[in-house]
Structures are given as structure tokens and as C-alpha cells.
Amino acid sequence: MDPEDRPPATDDAVESTNGACDTDTDTDTIDDTDTDTDTIDDTEDPEAFVGDPDGGDRDGPVADVNPDRSEDGLLKRFRRDNEGPLMWLREMLSSVAIVLLLGLILFGVSGVWPPMVAVESGSMEPNMEVGDLVFVTEPGRFAPDAADNDIGVVTYENGQAADYRTFGTYGSVVIYQPPGRTASPIIHRAMFHVDEGENWYERADRRLHNADDCEELRNCPAPHDGFITLGDNNGQYDQANGLSEPVKADWVTGVARLRVPYLGYVRLIATGQAKPSDLISVSTGVEPRELGTESTSPLIDRSESTPGTMIGTERTGFSLRFDSSTVAVHG
């Protein structure tokens, strides 16, 4: 058929053609939209959201999934709470830390552990009382010029010559533990030093033993080198009444330096060696126990008191609000 004989295109055909073109155009537009969507997906960073990192619901509230944040909150409560279990735990730990710190400081100064001992008997009265807490140093530390030995102990004899006094009278007060003794260590005054085999009867104060000669006096002649010791409130030497042989230097575990009234009752009450009523009684000036007859020991001068000593039921000195590790000692 010749082209001239062909029928003219109808409007329907034109519209169909235009529709096809429109469809293609729309398709391109949809493809562009898809491309834009893909672009948005590519720019998303899951780690930029605090929430579900696997692509969960990111439009909801942000969850507190950071464990450090929870720990910070607990730590802040522990530091700032003024009531409740965290407050009690904080106060308890603080108290323990303070006591340990003070104990370490005292240990650094004294060189012995424990650096304090609690007096449990009255054999050193009135210069040391039951319930006193006594600060001690290792033998040889802070040795005075009057000491003539390696452990820094000044005997009563040498103290008289040098006018060296501790705890109310001449000489050093030592803490010693004889071999085989299972009871508490002993805290008594060093009176004089003897050599092995020495007849020390003539050097002894006859008021402090009941012997007529060396043969009747216990530990005479001296079985070895050592100190003759005495409780200030006792009527006999420790070596005369059989409490101990002459005290060797290596039996001495410490030298008494300072005492704190009453504070030793903390340990004595905790170990059952004293009752709370005992502390109440002595603090109010009423002794809870009978002291017996007044001591005739020549070491005790009841006519005057010295700072830090006790006369009768009156106690002088100072008190502290803390305690450290202690052991009880037999006065």
C-alpha cells in the first residue's frame, strides 16, 4: 500500500503512544526515587544510635545499656548517700582504713607490732593502771644516753645516777616474754643487770626479798646474764618470787614510752578480761576491785604525782578516740 493511501493516525493512537512515553517517564522517576532511598540507606551509621545496633527500632527511647553509667551512679551514691546501707558501708570502711593507717604510722615509729599493749593487772600501780594502753618501741630504738646496752634499757640503778625517769620513777619499763610462758607478756621495771654466776644478794634491796643469803634467794647466783625486774607495786623481785629468771636481752620485746588511760579496756573487754562496769567504775573514781593493803614497795612515792601517772583512784593524762592493734600484758 502506498503511503498516501494509509489512513491518518487517530487520536487514540496518539494518546496510546503518549501514554507509553508517560509510563517510561514515570518508571524513570521511580528508579530515581529508589536511587535516593538507596543513598539514604548507605549514609546511615548504626553505631550513631544508642540503642539496637542491629537495626531495631531507633525511634523509641534510648536505653541505658552502658554498664559504666550504672557503675558511676552506684559510686556516686556510695560517696554521697547520707542514709541507708551504702552510707553504713562507707562509714565502716572509712573507720577501718583510719585505724589501719594509724596502726601503720605507729608501727613505723615504734618498730614493733603491735605498737601498743593493754595493762591487765595492777602490779605497776600507781604508775600504770589496769586498762591503760601503753605505747612501746622496739628495743634499741630511741635509746637514751643513760643506757649502757644494745637494747636501750636504763636500769633503776643507772637511772638514779643519771637522773633518768620513766613512769614515775627511775629506769626503763620493759615488756618481756620468758621462754615457755604461755600467759600474757610481763611489763615491769628493769632494776639492775647481773652477769652469769653473779652473787647479786648484796646488790638487792632487802625489802624486796625474804632471803638471808644468796643460797636462799632464788636465781642466785645468776644462772645467766640478764635484768633483775620488779613490778612497781610488788613486794618482791620477779626473780625472787619465781616469776622469771633474770631477763635476757632477747626476751625483751619492747620498751614502754607512753601510756593512755582507759583505752586498753577496749581490748580487755573484748577478750573477757574486764567488764564494761569496770570501765564505768574507774572512770567515775570508784575502783571495782579490792587492791588489798597499800604497797610498801620502795619504788612508790605516794606523796606526789608526776604528769601522766595515777595516785589512788585519780587518773591523769589524756585520752584518744581511736584504738590500734594491742596485746594484753601482765603488770
- pLDDT exceeds 80 at position 266: yes
**Rounded distance, CA 96 to CA 324, Å?**
10
- Regarding beta strands 226-230 and 186-194, do their DSSP bridges make them parallel or antiparallel, or are they unpaired? antiparallel
* Tens digit of each residue's pLDDT (9 = 90 or more) over 291-301: 444 555 777 65
- pLDDT exceeds 90 at position 216: yes
**Contacts (Cβ under 8 Å, ≥6 apart) of 147:** 153, 154, 158, 172
- pLDDT exceeds 70 at position 46: no
> Hey, which CATH number is domain 114-329, 3.90.1170.40, 3.40.50.11740, 2.60.120.10, 2.10.109.10?
2.10.109.10
Q: Quick one: CA torsion of 315, 320, 322, 327, rounded to 10 degrees?
A: -40
Confidence band of 18 (pLDDT split at 50, 70, 90): very low
**What nine digits make up the cell of 228?**
633483775
pLDDT in the model for residue 63: 52
- pLDDT exceeds 60 at position 16: no
**Contacts (Cβ under 8 Å, ≥6 apart) of 237:** 191, 204, 208, 209, 228, 229, 230
pLDDT in the model for residue 272: 84
pLDDT average, residue stretch 86-94: 84
pLDDT in the model for residue 2: 53
Alpha helices in 225-289 (DSSP H): 265-270, 276-283
pLDDT in the model for residue 243: 95
pLDDT in the model for residue 201: 97
Confidence band of 227 (pLDDT split at 50, 70, 90): very high
pLDDT in the model for residue 205: 96
* Tens digit of each residue's pLDDT (9 = 90 or more) over 59-71: 555 555 555 555 5
**Rounded distance, CA 138 to CA 145, Å?**
16
19 Rama class: left (phi>0) / alpha (psi -120 to 50) / beta = alpha
- pLDDT exceeds 90 at position 163: yes
pLDDT in the model for residue 316: 37
1 vs 218, higher pLDDT:
218
Confidence band of 280 (pLDDT split at 50, 70, 90): confident
* Tens digit of each residue's pLDDT (9 = 90 or more) over 94-128: 888 988 888 788 888 888 888 889 999 999 999 99
Q: Is 190 helix (H, G, I), strand (E, B) or coil?
A: strand
**Rounded distance, CA 103 to CA 137, Å?**
13
% of residues, the chain, pLDDT over 70? 64
pLDDT in the model for residue 307: 35
- pLDDT exceeds 90 at position 157: yes
Alpha helices in 44-183 (DSSP H): 67-80, 85-110, 156-162
Give the up-direction half-sphere exposure of residue 293: CA atoms within 13 A in the CB hemisphere. 4
12 vs 142, higher pLDDT:
142
- pLDDT exceeds 70 at position 302: no
pLDDT in the model for residue 330: 66
Residue ranges per domain, the chain?
114-329
Q: Quick one: CA torsion of 183, 265, 283, 302, rounded to 10 degrees?
A: 40
Q: Quick one: CA torsion of 156, 159, 161, 163, rounded to 10 degrees?
A: -140
pLDDT in the model for residue 6: 57
pLDDT in the model for residue 252: 97
Q: Is there a cis peptide before residue 307, judged by omega within 30 degrees of 0?
A: no
pLDDT average, residue stretch 144-171: 95
Nearest to 121 by CA among 253, 238, 239: 238
Q: What is the mean pLDDT of the chain?
A: 76
Of the given ranges (150-159, 186-195, 264-273), which has the lowest mean pLDDT?
A: 264-273
Residue with cell 585520752: 319
* Tens digit of each residue's pLDDT (9 = 90 or more) over 303-331: 443 333 332 333 433 333 233 344 566 66
Q: What is the DSSP letter of 330?
A: B
